[in-house]
Amino acid sequence: MGLFDWIKSQFIDIIEWLDDSGDTIVYRFDRYGNEIKYGAKLIVRPSQVAVFVSEGEIADVLGPGTYELETKNLPILTDLQHWDHGFASPFKAEIYFVSTKRFTNLKWGTRHPIIINDARFGPVRIRAFGTFEIRVVDPVKFIKEIVGTDGYFTTDEIKDQLANLIVTKLPQVVANSGISIVELAKHYDTLSKKIQKLLEPYFEEYGLKLEKLLIENLSLPKEVEKALDERSSMSVIGDMEEFLRYKSAEGIAKGGSASEMVGLGAGMYAAKEMFQSPPPLPKEQFYIAKDGKPEGPFDKTFLLKLIKDGILTSDTLVWQEGMKDWQKAGEVIGDLFKKVPPKLDEDKE
């Protein structure tokens, strides 16, 4: 190799972009005066695209590979520069490297509560947040619509705009789903896919693809959560009725005061009745005589329980409002005794 060839070889450029940032989408290769040597080597790595811009106009786009920059590799740029018979070094052009990898774990969320019209509870304010993933699928459109002349474009410069798109579509999807707010947590995956499909055309306008969208949490205001907790508590009170009746009967069998047993659940029943509309019709009430003292009053449902447990017999004296004297239970509520099967005679077995 002669001296001239050796000197000439020192000016052969190697144009490449080694990205270690993890969040850079577009990088403009810096050249003094944008001059590139004839025969310069261009290295485009996997998940990269090189876009040539000449005098503000996008020219050639080269995908992954290694190129020697000559007229045959840059046909559009050659035409723009009117290089009919090749070109001499140097030539001017800007080279933008565009990363086409998937950018993950981008955050989205509501800055302020958004109103959802719930079928059961009416208008409700909720907050939501999650993550999404994007990829550049049209580098030319992305540079034209978003990047412009920015020589160093990162996800931070666009993620807020994309996150706002997600938030604007969230109320529409949740409202149209017909899913109650109390059941939203079971449908995060379904709602995420619906929002993603709805947003795809908007991302395509930027030259992007929305690869994935995840809803991680939908939360209600504290006052709504408190109301739901109270509603659940009332459901529990309804389930305790049979338990309280059983405990009262058990207390009488052990010699305790029936009035004390019933008093144990009086507050619970009163609270439950406050939330019932309209109030239930009054039930027929009876007192029973036990150890020479009146116990009660009890309704017929509870008296039937006492009969089954052997606590109330047909000879037990009972009384209700309107009766002049105490009478035997068999004479007053004999219909209840007919509902209880007689005891088996073991001697006949």
Say whether pLDDT at 283 is over 60.
yes
What is the C-alpha separation between 205 and 73, in angstroms, rounded? 29
Backbone phi and psi for residue 277, each to the nearest 5 degrees, phi listed first: -140, 125
What is the C-alpha separation between 36 and 91, in angstroms, rounded? 5
Dihedral sign for Cα 25, 30, 33, 35, please: negative
For residue 135, give the 3-state DSSP assignment: strand
Q: What percent of the chain has pLDDT over 90?
A: 35
CB of 29 closer than 8 Å to CB of 40? no
Ordered domains of the chain (ranges, CATH): 11-99 (no CATH), 103-220 (3.30.479.30), 226-348 (no CATH)
Query: What average pLDDT does this structure show over 109-124?
Result: 81
Say whether pLDDT at 9 is over 50.
no
Say whether pLDDT at 273 is over 80.
no
- State both tokens at 98: 């565009």
Say whether pLDDT at 159 is over 60.
yes
Query: What average pLDDT does this structure show over 62-78?
Result: 87
What is the strand order of the sheet 285-290 is part of? Answer: 293-299, 285-290, 317-319, 327-328
Nearest 10 degrees: Cα torsion 39, 40, 41, 42: -120
User: What pairing do the DSSP bridges indicate for beta strands 91-92 and 41-44?
Assistant: unpaired
Q: What share of the chain is helix, strand, coil (3-state, %, to 5)?
A: 40, 30, 30
pLDDT of residue 265: 52
pLDDT digits (tens, 9 = 90+) for 201-231: 999 999 999 999 999 998 877 776 776 666 6
pLDDT digits (tens, 9 = 90+) for 286-342: 999 988 889 888 888 888 888 888 888 989 999 988 888 899 988 888 888 888 887
List CB contacts of 195: < 8 A, sequence separation 6 or more.
Answer: 166, 169, 170, 173, 213, 215
Backbone phi and psi for residue 289, each to the nearest 5 degrees, phi listed first: -95, 125
The candidate with the shortest Cα–Cα distance to 215, out of 155, 146, 156, 169, is 169
Query: What average pLDDT does this structure show over 249-276?
Result: 54
Residue 52 pairs in a beta bridge with 95
pLDDT digits (tens, 9 = 90+) for 83-115: 766 666 678 888 999 999 999 999 999 988 888
Dihedral sign for Cα 254, 256, 262, 268, please: negative
Q: What angle do CA 266, 272, 275 make, to 5 degrees?
A: 145
pLDDT of residue 3: 46
CB of 28 closer than 8 Å to CB of 152? yes
pLDDT of residue 279: 52
Backbone phi and psi for residue 38, each to the nearest 5 degrees, phi listed first: -65, 135
pTM of the model: 0.60
pLDDT of residue 146: 92
Q: Match 């693809």 to its residue by tokens.
A: 209
Query: What average pLDDT does this structure show over 168-182?
Result: 84
Higher pLDDT, 127 or 343: 127
Round the average pLDDT of the chain to a whole number and report it: 81
Say whether pLDDT at 132 is over 50.
yes
CB of 132 closer than 8 Å to CB of 169? no
Q: Supply the Cα-derived Rg of the chain in whole angstroms.
A: 41
Q: Match 């109030």 to its residue by tokens.
A: 279
Say whether pLDDT at 2 is over 70.
no
What is the C-alpha separation between 147 and 181, in angstroms, rounded? 39
Dihedral sign for Cα 219, 222, 224, 229, please: positive
Say whether pLDDT at 53 is over 70.
yes
Q: Taking the CA of residue 130 as centre, how many other CA atoms within 13 Å lie in the half-sphere pointing to its CB?
A: 24
Query: What average pLDDT does this structure show over 152-179?
Result: 90
Place 4 in a pLDDT band, splitting at 50, 70 and 90.
very low
CB of 311 closer than 8 Å to CB of 297? no
Continuous H helices in the chain: 3-9, 75-80, 139-142, 159-177, 188-204, 222-239, 241-253, 258-274, 300-308, 329-332, 334-337
Q: What angle do CA 109, 172, 137 make, to 5 degrees?
A: 65
